[in-house]
């Protein structure tokens, strides 16, 4: 059978043996017939709070948080529709804050592609900078006592609006909601506290789990300290069409959205597989290997101990080169060495959470990478290069014998497979 994997801005077609392959995808939801009408209706009939227009007054300073280019949020549609609802507020009182988290700032050209030129050129658009202390203010402390630093544009606004989309998240349970604030517009030290080795290693820090998840509970607590925030989140299908709109109270509306996404994303399988092929759901999430750990984590849920995981992740931006993750990987001799470093008291590095999760997965399974990276870069990141997924699977099946089985997650982390 031919299976289309989400890869880059298109698809990667792989040939799999029909009788031994299980393809696992989210339950399909059709796109809404009128996305704009659905968004405006949600803003006017929110969950758990007053309609957005009742939050506004002509003198209000408004901060709208939007996701950066590593996320699939349809900002070019969502933000203009939201701004229609803010038509009573002068433009010079509205700040559009790009929730880069610990990622690089987006360029003016990227912001125009994300927001549309009419918005990017006519509104104040600011990239969050997690290490710019002048941009940060403290709002309490994290679970371990680290100062909780948040972007002052958000904290000092009279009206805070947090936008984004909801998908399963490999250690925070779900994206969207308060994650738009923490880590979206938080300081580096705050993020590193939340994403520390102890929290990442907690069994409840995984897909689909919020209650009892130490990362999530800290995220929620910190986000609420910014002050009341109005949420506008969406759910998407594989064509990036909007399938649901969730607006209102930051926590209550997000909970409704998470349950909506859970119903389509959770997919039961009867037993683990010998070989699992996964993706990072294509562009923009597979821009780099830093993001690729998400798809890897989805596949790891259903691979046998000692099995094989194959990740298809384009990585057009590399790891990225000379990023904190790149430097951390190059400083170690093996995945086990990374885990040893992270267990050392006082050892803390930016982006260590991605390396930690990758290393934990590599304790369980062999991991191969199909990407645009050179074989040298792939091996430096502790992956085995894969240049032909179909041929690799055929070879593995021949070695394993007639009872070996393959699972394919064409949409990667948009699916939460589980064994039951």
- pLDDT tens track for 239-256: 999 999 999 999 999 999
**Domain span at 383:** 2-26+270-419
Cα separation, 363 vs 419, whole angstroms: 19
CATH (domain of 309): 3.90.226.30
Structure token pair of residue 63? 């901060």
Instruction: Using the CB atoms, write b or e for 268-299: b if 16+ within 10 Å.
Output: ebeebbbbbbbbbbbbbbbbbbbbbbbbbbbb
> What pLDDT is stored for residue 170 in this prediction?
93
Say yes or no to pLDDT of 70 above 90.
no
Q: Are 406 and 275 in contact (CB under 8 A)?
A: yes
Are 344 and 408 in the same domain? yes
* pLDDT mean over 37-55: 98
Cα-flanking dihedrals φ and ψ of residue 244, to 5°? Answer: -160, 150
Both 114 and 226 in one domain: the answer is: yes
The answer on 211 and 189 residing in a single domain is yes
Is omega for the bond preceding 320 within 30 degrees of 0, making it cis? yes
Of the candidates 249, 264, 279, which is a domain's last residue? Answer: 264
Q: Same domain, yes or no, for 293 and 251?
A: no
Query: In this model, does residue 386 exceed pLDDT 90?
Result: yes
CATH number where 129 lies? 3.40.50.11440
One-letter-per-residue 3-state SS of 300-344:
HCCEEEEEEEEEECCCCCCCCCCCHHHHHHHCCCCHHHHHHHHCC
Residue ranges of E strands in 152-215: 159-165, 168-169, 173-174
**The CA-based dihedral angle spanning residues 135, 193, 282, 243, taken in that order and rounded to the nearest 10 degrees:** -80
Nearest Cα residue to 69 out of 241, 294, 321, 283 = 283
Interatomic CA distance for residues 150 and 132, integer angstroms = 11
Which pLDDT belongs to residue 346? 85
pLDDT for the residue 178: 98
3-state helix, strand, coil in the chain (%, to 5): 35, 25, 40
Whole-number Å distance between alpha carbons of 207 and 167: 9
Under the phi-then-psi rule, with left for phi > 0, alpha for psi from -120 to 50, and beta for the rest, what region is 19?
alpha
Spatial distance between the Cα atoms of 313 and 302, rounded to a whole number of angstroms = 19
User: To the nearest whole percent, how much of the chain has pLDDT over 70?
Assistant: 100
Helices of type H across 132-196: 152-155, 188-194
First and final C-alpha spacing in the chain: 26
| Residue 162, number of CB atoms within 10 A of its CB | 30
Do residues 54 and 162 both lie within one domain?
yes
Listed in sequence order, the residues at least 6 apart from 337 whose beta carbon sits closer than 8 Å to its beta carbon are none
- Report the mean per-residue pLDDT for the chain: 96
Same domain? 258 vs 387? no
Whether residues 343 and 369 share a domain: the answer is yes
Distances (CA, A) of 270 to 76, 261, 298, 405: 41, 22, 16, 12
Question: b vs e for 87-113, b when ≥16 Cβ sit within 10 Å of the residue's Cβ?
Answer: eebeeebbbbbbbbbbbeebeeebbbe
| pLDDT tens column, 332-367 | 999 999 999 999 988 889 899 999 999 999 999 999
Q: Are residues 210 and 354 in the same domain?
A: no
Alpha carbon distance 394, 403 (integer Å): 13
One domain, residues 389 and 343: yes
Helix (H, G, I), strand (E, B) or coil at 418: strand
* Mean pLDDT within 274-285: 96
Give the pLDDT confidence of 361-375 residue by residue, as tens digits.
Answer: 999 999 999 999 999
- pTM here is 0.91
Query: Count of domains in the chain?
Result: 2
- In a shared domain, residues 89 and 214: yes
Do both 326 and 401 map to the same domain?
yes
The reply to whether 335 and 352 lie within a common domain is yes
Q: What local confidence, expressed as pLDDT, does residue 345 receive? A: 87
pLDDT at 159 over 90: yes
Cis geometry, peptide bond prior to residue 369 (ω within 30 degrees of 0): no
C-alpha distances in Å from residue 166, one per residue of 16, 240, 259, 291, 292: 31, 12, 10, 16, 18
* Listed residues 246, 264, 282: the one ending a domain: 264
- Of 230, 264, 298, the one marking the end of a domain is 264
- Tell me which residue of 176, 181, 293, 288 sits closest to 227, measured CA to CA: 181
């Amino acid at each position: 059978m031919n299976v289309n994997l989400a890869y880059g801005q298109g698809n990667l077609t792989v040939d799999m043996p029909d009788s031994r392959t299980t393809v696992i995808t989210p339950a399909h939801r059709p796109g809404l017939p009128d996305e704009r009408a659905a968004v405006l209706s949600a803003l006017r009939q929110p969950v758990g709070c007053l309609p957005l227009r009742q939050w506004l007054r002509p003198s209000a300073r408004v901060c709208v948080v939007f996701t950066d280019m590593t996320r699939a949020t349809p900002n070019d549609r969502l933000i203009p529709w939201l701004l229609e609802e803010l038509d009573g507020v002068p433009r010079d009182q509205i700040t559009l804050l790009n929730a880069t988290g610990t990622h690089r700032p987006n360029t003016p050209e990227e912001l125009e592609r994300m927001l549309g030129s009419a918005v990017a050129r006519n509104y104040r658009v600011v990239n969050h900078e997690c290490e710019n202390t002048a941009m940060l203010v403290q709002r309490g402390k994290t679970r371990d006592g680290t100062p909780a630093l948040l972007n002052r544009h958000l904290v000092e606004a009279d009206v805070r609006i947090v936008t984004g989309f909801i998908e399963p998240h490999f250690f925070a349970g779900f994206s969207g909601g308060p994650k738009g604030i923490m880590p979206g517009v938080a300081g580096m030290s705050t993020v590193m506290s939340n994403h520390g080795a102890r929290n990442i290693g907690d069994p409840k820090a995984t897909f689909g789990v919020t209650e009892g998840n130490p990362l999530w509970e800290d995220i929620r607590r910190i986000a609420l300290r910014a002050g009341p925030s109005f949420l506008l989140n969406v759910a998407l299908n594989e064509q990036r069409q909007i399938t649901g709109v969730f607006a209102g109270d930051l926590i209550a509306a997000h909970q409704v959205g998470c349950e909506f996404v859970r119903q389509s994303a959770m997919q039961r399988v009867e037993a683990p597989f010998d070989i699992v092929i996964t993706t990072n759901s294509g562009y923009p999430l597979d821009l780099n290997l830093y993001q690729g750990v998400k798809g890897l984590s989805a596949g790891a849920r259903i691979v046998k101990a000692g099995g094989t995981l194959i990740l298809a992740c384009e990585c057009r931006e590399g790891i990225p080169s000379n990023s904190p993750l790149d430097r951390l990987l190059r400083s170690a001799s093996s995945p086990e060495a990374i885990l040893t470093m992270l267990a050392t008291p006082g050892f803390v590095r930016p982006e260590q959470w991605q390396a930690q999760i990758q290393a934990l997965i590599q304790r369980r399974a062999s991991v191969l990478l199909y990407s645009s990276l050179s074989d040298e870069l792939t091996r430096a990141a502790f992956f085995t290069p894969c240049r032909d997924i179909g041929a690799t699977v055929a070879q593995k099946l021949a070695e394993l014998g007639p009872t070996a089985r393959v699972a394919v997650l064409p949409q990667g982390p948009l699916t939460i497979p589980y064994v039951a």
